[in-house]
Amino acid sequence: MIYLDLFLGFLKVGCFAFGGAYGAIPLIRDVVMSYGWLTDEMLTYMIAVSESTPGPIMVNLATYVGSSQAGFAGAVISTLAVVLPSFIIILLVTALLKTALKNKYVQAVLRGLKPCVIGIVLATGIYMVITNCFGKVTAPAVNLQALIITAILFGATAAWKAIFKKKLSPIMLIIISAFSGMLIF
């Protein structure tokens, strides 16, 4: 049943989403792909939309996937499911288990989880950049337009850093990429 699948899928994401929004993206990708809810393409578009609209990215993605699969009820169920684990954990930690997180064994588990999340995010980033430019390993194809845009974006980021001594904000990067896309594709 779709409602149950959405609920369980996003509950899983909510339970394991360490390391903020970017930590959650590979998990959401996993869940969405394994159920075949969205194509890789659509999911990437939605990540950009979530990045450019207010609110936590994880919540935005859950709402979108839910609504695309099962309308309003689906959106409500997925959003609740992604929020529920952190809601319950925070209540437990603040109300009952004030020192649970300081427990040595909990700390040891966290010390394993955090670098693993970083590794997963790194792999996802590398994989996305490479497949955008050179296609999938099973069907390699150099995408010249994508290569040009990648170069433009890296150039813009570097130039911005050099001139303003500050990181280019994600929204600015998305705007630049949208205009380059309109011009080049």
Partner 1 sequence: MNILLDLFLTFARIGLFTFGGGYAMIAMINNSCVEQKKWITHDEMMDITVIAESTPGPIAINCATFTGYKKAGFTGAVVATLGIVVPSFVVIYCISMFLDNFLELTLIASAFKGIKIAVGILILDAAITMVKKMHNKKLPRTIMVCSCMAMLCINIFSVNFSSISLMIVAAAVSLTVFILNGAPQQKGGNGK
Query: Looking only at residues 152 through 171 of this chain, which bind partner 1 when binding is defined by CB under 8 A?
Result: 153-154, 157, 169-171
CB of 82 to partner 1, least distance (A): 8
Residue list 85-124, contact with partner 1 (CB under 8 A): 85-87, 89-91, 93-95, 99-105, 108-124
72: contact with partner 1 by CB under 8 A: yes
22: contact with partner 1 by CB under 8 A: yes
39: contact with partner 1 by CB under 8 A: no
Residues in the chain: 185
How many chain residues interact with partner 1 (CB under 8 A)?
A: 105
Burial of 94 (0-12, 13-18, 19+ CB in 10 A): exposed
In the complex with partner 1, the residue whose CB is nearer, 4 or 131, is 131
Burial of 54 (0-12, 13-18, 19+ CB in 10 A): exposed
State which H helix or E strand residue 168 sits in: none
CB of 1 to partner 1, least distance (A): 21
Distance in angstroms (rounded) separating the CA atoms of residues 134 and 146: 9
8: contact with partner 1 by CB under 8 A: no
φ, ψ of residue 56 in degrees (nearest 5):
-60, 135
Q: State CA 184 to chain mean position distance.
A: 26
Largest Cα span, the chain: 57
176: contact with partner 1 by CB under 8 A: yes
Contact residue for partner 1 among 132, 134, 135, 160 (CB under 8 A): 132
Contacts of 119 (CB under 8 A, 6+ apart): none
Contact residue for partner 1 among 8, 73, 126, 158 (CB under 8 A): 126
38: contact with partner 1 by CB under 8 A: no
